[in-house]
Structure 1
Amino acid sequence: MASIVRPSLLRQTALASRCAARNAFAKQPALPVAALHSSSRRSAILPPGPRETYPALRPSSSRAVNDPAPVPEPNAAHGSYHWTFERLLAAGLVPLTIAPFASGSLNPTMDAIFCSAVLLHSHMGFQQCIIDYVPKKQYPGLRKFTWWALNLATLTVGVGLYEFETNDVGVTEAIKRVWKA
């Protein structure tokens, strides 16, 4: 590592000495140049914006960089219970997928439970994607549109699965036929 860094340090030192010599002849003050340096003067690079400097200019709804984060109201449904329900639903899909094929029975009740679990699991997954990737503060209109589009898509798929279960062969039988085809 030292052999890699050494040539650049030598070049910087040579450059600094040349600049100092040129500045001495030009009667200009020499700029301090160091091989490895850091500056704590960040204000010259990016001055603070008007909202950070003058709190009176800031709207009451927006927060500055150094304002404390708002504490949300405690709600168990949006915390660990919600996460636990998602994990149990995802883990429950494994036996619901295998059971109709392992037992050999084609039960419409089992198909209905499987379809509703898959539909709920998909809805909750896409809901988390919308929450994570479409921020409410930046895109309120897009967030509302995607939320309604997700609800409409979930309803459409739910009606389609119901029609497929009641008026056709059902999901398990369809998978069985496709597998044997």
Structure 2
Amino acid sequence: MASIARSSLLRQVASARPAFQQNVIARAARPTATTAFHTTARRDLLPPLPQRVDGTVNDAAPVPEPSPSHGSYHWTFDRLVAASLIPLTVTPFAAGSLNPTLDAFLCATILIHSHTGFQNIIIDYLPKKRTPRARKVFMWGLNAATAVVGLALYEFETTDVGLTETIKRIWTA
């Protein structure tokens, strides 16, 4: 009985196969239509920025003016701020004392660390030469956000329990 079912099933598949092959061949012969998702079509998400060449090929590369607030001093300052966050974060909880001065230093260091980190992102991804207006808008936005967060942290430190006490209460809740 099982062999009869198999042979009839095979006959059905064999008879349907040429029709399927003809359908595939007919599709391949038709002109290609663009679909919604096609891996070979090149579509940029954002159009490229305007391209401009200053000077000629033989001109030397411009060397920026040296500035102590950029380069190695800036990198060293960022690393010192990041490294100082470790003891400032651990000390209030390990020592068991909740000092408002230490809490203020922690808030200021977190604020400076966040500001310089976002500033580095803006500098890296919005070059001044290609997008001067967008970079200026983002820098002003970062400065405004830093001022608002600094004011909020100040208010939180002076009128409420402070950052480390809040973290301690959340941790023990």
Shorter-normalised TM-score: what interval? 0.5 to 0.7
1:102 paired residue number: 94
1:91 to 74, 83, 86: 83
| Consecutive unaligned residues in structure 2, runs of 5 or more | 1-51
Change in Cα spacing, 1:166 to 1:67, as seen in structure 2 (3 Å) is same
Cα shift at 1:66: 5.0
For CA contacts below 8 A with separation 6 or more, give which structure has more relative contact order: 2
1:162 paired residue number: 154
Distance in 2 between residues matched to 1:163 and 1:64, nearest whole Å: 56
1:120 paired residue number: 112
Distance in 1 between residues matched to 2:140 and 2:68, nearest whole Å: 24
| 1:107-163 superposed Cα distances (whole Å, 9 cap, x missing partner) | 000000000000001000000000000111221111110000000000000000000
4+ aligned runs moved over 6 Å, structure 1: none
Cα shift at 1:166: 0.4
SS of 1:78 mapped into structure 2: coil
Cα shift at 1:98: 0.1
| TM-score normalised by structure 2 residue count | 0.67
Cα shift at 1:64: 4.5
Cα shift at 1:82: 1.5
| Consecutive unaligned residues in structure 1, runs of 5 or more | 1-50, 52-57
2:170 to 156, 162, 178: 178
Distance in 1 between residues matched to 2:148 and 2:57, nearest whole Å: 43
RMSD: 1.6
2:127 paired residue number: 135
Counting aligned pairs with the same residue, the percent is 64
- How many aligned positions are there? 122
